[in-house]
């Protein structure tokens, strides 16, 4: 399981790209067993409500994020965890600070 402190990578630039934001959301959602609420993910990932709506739609449609009606929480799917792993492997080869 991922720790909450590991959810946001330190980025030396002002803006994040779409992959960085998607990774941030998935890592935040996967930081606790059972997932997190949309609001908590929004705060952990430093996103506005408009950004959350856009990215959650994308992540849910592409089956990277799952919503539980029972708990009203979001958690990464297996594909979402694979995305996190592959994203981290990619950033080891090509650091995020490269412009």
Domains and CATH numbers, the chain: 17-91 (1.10.10.10)
In sequence order, the 6+-apart residues with CB closer than 8 A to the CB of 84 are 2, 23, 26, 27, 30, 76
Taking the model in full, what pTM does it have?
A: 0.81
- Tens digit of each residue's pLDDT, the chain (99 residues): 454 445 555 545 568 999 999 999 999 999 999 999 999 999 999 999 999 999 999 999 999 999 999 999 999 999 999 999 999 999 999 877 654
User: What is the C-alpha to C-alpha distance for residues 14 and 10, in angstroms, rounded to an integer?
Assistant: 11
């Amino acid at each position: 399981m991922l720790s909450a402190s590991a959810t946001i990578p330190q980025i030396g630039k002002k803006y994040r790209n779409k992959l960085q934001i998607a990774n941030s959301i998935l890592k935040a959602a996967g930081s606790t067993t059972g997932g997190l609420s949309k609001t908590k993910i929004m705060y952990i990932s430093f996103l506005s409500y408009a950004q959350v709506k856009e990215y959650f739609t994308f992540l849910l449609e592409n089956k990277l994020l799952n919503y539980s009606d029972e708990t009203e929480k979001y958690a990464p799917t297996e594909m979402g965890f694979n995305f996190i792993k592959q994203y981290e492997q990619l950033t080891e080869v090509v650091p995020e600070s490269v412009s």
